[in-house]
Amino acid sequence: MKRAALALTLFTLFFSYGCQKAYYSTMESMGYDKREILTDRVGDARESQEDAKQQFASALEQFKAAVAFDGGNLEATYEKLNDQYEDCEDRAEDVGKRIDKVEDVADALFTEWGEEIKQYTSDSLRTSSRNKLNATKRKYSGLIKAMRKAESKMTPVLNAFKDQVLYLKHNLNAKAIASLEGELSSIRTDVDTLIKEMDKSIAEADEFIKTLE
């Protein structure tokens, strides 16, 4: 069983690696090199984070509106909050996938760049290219750390939203609504922190894209 599991894991890794190489080869044959793909994916991740930031802010506003509930349809209030939570969850998942794609092409680009440096016959050009590679790696390291940090800030907000939505679902009454007020301050703080980290990450993405252009 262990050998079978190991074989399956290795097959999956090799298959995935083979698909990645085929994808990049196909793109390059169409005139898109890894640097351009990286630029596009960083841009996509940036936009995904911007969308997530807006969605979490929107969910917070809906949460505030629920706390201010003063009679009406409790079921409708729950549905609105649940919709906002699910939208936040979708945005968070998309952000993670976009960052994964950035890491994938960055690894491929830096590996290729490092191998091609060895092909130089000119010492000065080799040194210049290596310095540019190292500088790009440093900028990228700051970018990916900022992106992952911002991504991690979504988890406590999602957990808090989920807890409150579930509690409201199980207790559709005025007391349940009132209990949400106690969590509002904490959630607001978490969302504010998330938005700040998202803004930092977006700024890092803008700066990184400039270095590639």
Asked whether residue 26 is domain-assigned, the answer is no
Give me the sign of the Cα torsion angle 166, 169, 171, 175.
Answer: positive
Whole-number pLDDT of residue 174? 72
Asked whether residue 22 is domain-assigned, the answer is no
How many structural domains is the chain composed of? Answer: 1
Whole-number pLDDT of residue 21? 72
pLDDT 10s digits, 26-41: 777 776 788 899 999 9
Asked whether residue 90 is domain-assigned, the answer is yes
| CATH classification at residue 121 | 1.20.120
Whole-number pLDDT of residue 105? 95
Asked whether residue 16 is domain-assigned, the answer is no
Domain that holds residue 127: 33-212
Asked whether residue 57 is domain-assigned, the answer is yes
Q: Would you mind telling me the total number of residues written for the chain in this entry?
A: 213
Which residues lie below 8 Å from residue 82, measured CB to CB, with a gap of 6+? 165, 169
- State the DSSP code for 153: T
Asked whether residue 13 is domain-assigned, the answer is no
Whole-number pLDDT of residue 151? 96
Asked whether residue 4 is domain-assigned, the answer is no
**Model pTM score:** 0.84
Asked whether residue 84 is domain-assigned, the answer is yes
pLDDT 10s digits, 41-67: 999 999 999 999 999 999 999 988 887
Which residues lie below 8 Å from residue 109, measured CB to CB, with a gap of 6+? 34, 35, 38
Q: Average pLDDT for consecutive 10-residue bins of the chain (213 residues)?
A: 43 53 73 86 96 96 82 82 95 97 96 96 96 96 96 95 89 76 87 96 95 83
